């Protein structure tokens, strides 16, 4: 079984990324061959500063390694170190109906917000399809917002297979119900673009402030809260604290008597402690950047070898070779 997922170097890793994609992907390392990559080509659609891209790319590498990526098990690489993926993007583009891309939520959201659209944003799902298909991926662990892109990938693969004979493996998205959409501090989906994230790494005081800024209603502590499961701090506590601790706080919210400030303080403690290991590993890795670059170089060589085999298969199928 081959598992594949990627993340753009477009900002700091947050709880949504971690629970929606990174943790599930890292857990799958033990169950198959994981290909995990830094989607720097995709970041071209939103980051327009070279130094920022380089810095973010290194940050994602540190994040993945600190959170448990094992270079001996997983193939870890930078998307742009495998330029074959852009050739496959063109081949797939030529079979991709415009309507398929016009229906994509992420593209429609940008249009509805009046964000100026360029061709890269429109074609983004085709590059993502090439990412997935060029490694014969079976399982793609992602958050819910990426589900449609994996479905588009399947549609494009089917079109190619029908036109030129079976060439590509059809991938399945893997989405965990409990973490499909992690909420941000304002209750909307946690997202870098919405400025409502709780980062995984950073300065303690700033992160504490973020958690204390989670939006609550104005009910008094004494009032019972029968809708406790809708409380944002409690939802996040369920992710970072043992189940019995979260259940106890849910009970106290329901009964009344628990102040939101105390709930948030507890959330901060569990959140902070649960990432103590990754935080220490990240600090250590930051002092060994040669090692980090070496991991990415070795990952790129392995990924490229796989990509070349699949691209050759596709070129033969469609008459380019």
Min separation Cβ 160 and ligand TRP, Å = 17
Which residue in 126, 59, 44, 137 sits closest to 88, CA to CA?
A: 126
CB 47 within 8 A of CB 53: yes
Which residue in 2, 14, 4 sits closest to 196, CA to CA?
A: 14
Q: For residues 118 and 288, which CB has a smaller minimum distance to ligand TRP in the complex?
A: 118
Distances (CA, A) of 240 to 179, 212, 260: 12, 16, 17
Name the binder of 214 from ligand ADP, ligand TRP, none, CB < 5-8 A by kind. none
Cα distance between residue 67 and residue 24, in whole Å: 11
Rounded to the nearest 10 degrees, how much is the dihedral formed by the CA atoms of 298, 301, 305, 308?
150
Please report the DSSP string for 129-145 in residue order: HHHHHTTT-SEEE--GG
Q: In what order do the strands lie in the sheet with 172-174?
A: 75-78, 33-38, 2-7, 139-141, 172-174
Min separation Cβ 206 and ligand TRP, Å = 24
Q: For residues 10 and 89, which CB has a smaller minimum distance to ligand ADP in the complex?
A: 10
CB 149 within 8 A of CB 104: yes
Q: For residues 191 and 231, which CB has a smaller minimum distance to ligand TRP in the complex?
A: 191
Which span sits near ligand TRP by CB under 6 A: 86-94, 126-134, 279-287, 307-315? 126-134
Name the binder of 263 from ligand TRP, ligand ADP, none, CB < 5-8 A by kind. none
Site string for ligand TRP, 18-57 (x = CB under 6 A): ---------------------x--x---------------
Name the binder of 191 from ligand TRP, ligand ADP, none, CB < 5-8 A by kind. ligand ADP
Min separation Cβ 41 and ligand TRP, Å = 8
- The total of other beta-carbon atoms located within 10 Å of residue 168's CB is 26
Cα distance between residue 137 and residue 311, in whole Å: 14
CB 69 within 8 A of CB 76: yes
Which residue in 83, 95, 80 sits closest to 6, CA to CA?
A: 80
Name the binder of 57 from ligand TRP, ligand ADP, none, CB < 5-8 A by kind. none
Min separation Cβ 305 and ligand ADP, Å = 25
Q: Which residue is nearest to ligand ADP (CB)?
A: 20
Cα distance between residue 153 and residue 59, in whole Å: 28
Name the binder of 128 from ligand TRP, ligand ADP, none, CB < 5-8 A by kind. ligand TRP
Polymer length of the chain: 321
Question: Is 128 among the residues that bind ligand TRP (CB under 6 A)?
Answer: yes
Binding residues for ligand ADP, rule: CB under 6 A, are 7-8, 16-17, 20-21, 142-143, 145-146, 179, 181-182, 189-193
* 41 contact partners, CB below 8 Å, separation of at least 6: 79, 80, 85, 86, 127
Min separation Cβ 203 and ligand TRP, Å = 25
Site string for ligand TRP, 130-169 (x = CB under 6 A): -xx-------x-x---x-----------------------
Name the binder of 225 from ligand ADP, ligand TRP, none, CB < 5-8 A by kind. none
Q: Which of 6, 199, 278, 299 binds ligand TRP (CB under 6 A)?
A: 6
Q: For residues 10 and 96, which CB has a smaller minimum distance to ligand ADP in the complex?
A: 10
User: Which positions touch ligand TRP (CB under 6 A)?
Assistant: 4-8, 39, 42, 128, 131-132, 140, 142, 146
């Amino acid at each position: 079984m081959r598992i594949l997922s990627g993340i753009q170097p477009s900002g700091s890793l947050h709880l949504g990324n971690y629970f929606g994609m990174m943790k599930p992907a890292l857990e799958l390392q033990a169950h198959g061959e994981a290909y995990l990559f830094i989607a720097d080509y995709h970041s071209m659609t939103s980051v327009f500063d070279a130094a920022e891209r380089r810095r973010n790319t290194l940050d994602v590498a540190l994040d993945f390694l600190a959170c448990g990526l094992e270079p001996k098990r997983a193939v870890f690489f930078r998307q742009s170190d495998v330029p074959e993926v852009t050739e496959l993007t063109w081949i797939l583009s030529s079979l991709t109906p415009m309507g398929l891309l016009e229906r994509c939520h992420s593209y429609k959201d940008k249009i509805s917000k009046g964000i100026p659209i360029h061709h890269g944003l429109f074609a983004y799902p085709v590059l993502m399809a090439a990412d997935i298909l060029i490694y014969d991926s079976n399982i793609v662990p992602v958050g819910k917002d990426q589900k449609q892109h994996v479905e588009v990938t399947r549609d494009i693969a089917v079109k190619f297979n029908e036109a030129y004979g079976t060439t590509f493996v059809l991938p399945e998205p893997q989405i965990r119900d409990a973490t499909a959409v992690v909420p941000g501090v304002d209750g909307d989906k946690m997202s870098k673009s919405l400025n409502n994230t709780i980062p995984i790494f950073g300065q303690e005081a700033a992160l504490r402030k973020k958690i204390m800024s989670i939006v609550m209603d104005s009910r008094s502590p004494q009032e019972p809260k029968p809708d406790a499961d809708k409380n944002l701090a409690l939802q996040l506590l369920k992710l970072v604290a043992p189940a019995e601790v979260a259940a106890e706080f849910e009970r106290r919210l329901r009964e009344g008597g628990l102040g939101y400030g105390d709930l948030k303080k507890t959330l901060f403690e569990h959140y902070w402690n649960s990432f103590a290991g990754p935080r220490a590993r990240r600090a250590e890795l930051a002092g060994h950047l040669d090692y980090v670059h070496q991991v990415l170089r070795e990952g790129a060589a392995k990924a490229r070898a796989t990509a070349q085999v699949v691209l050759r298969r596709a070129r033969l199928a469609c008459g380019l070779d």
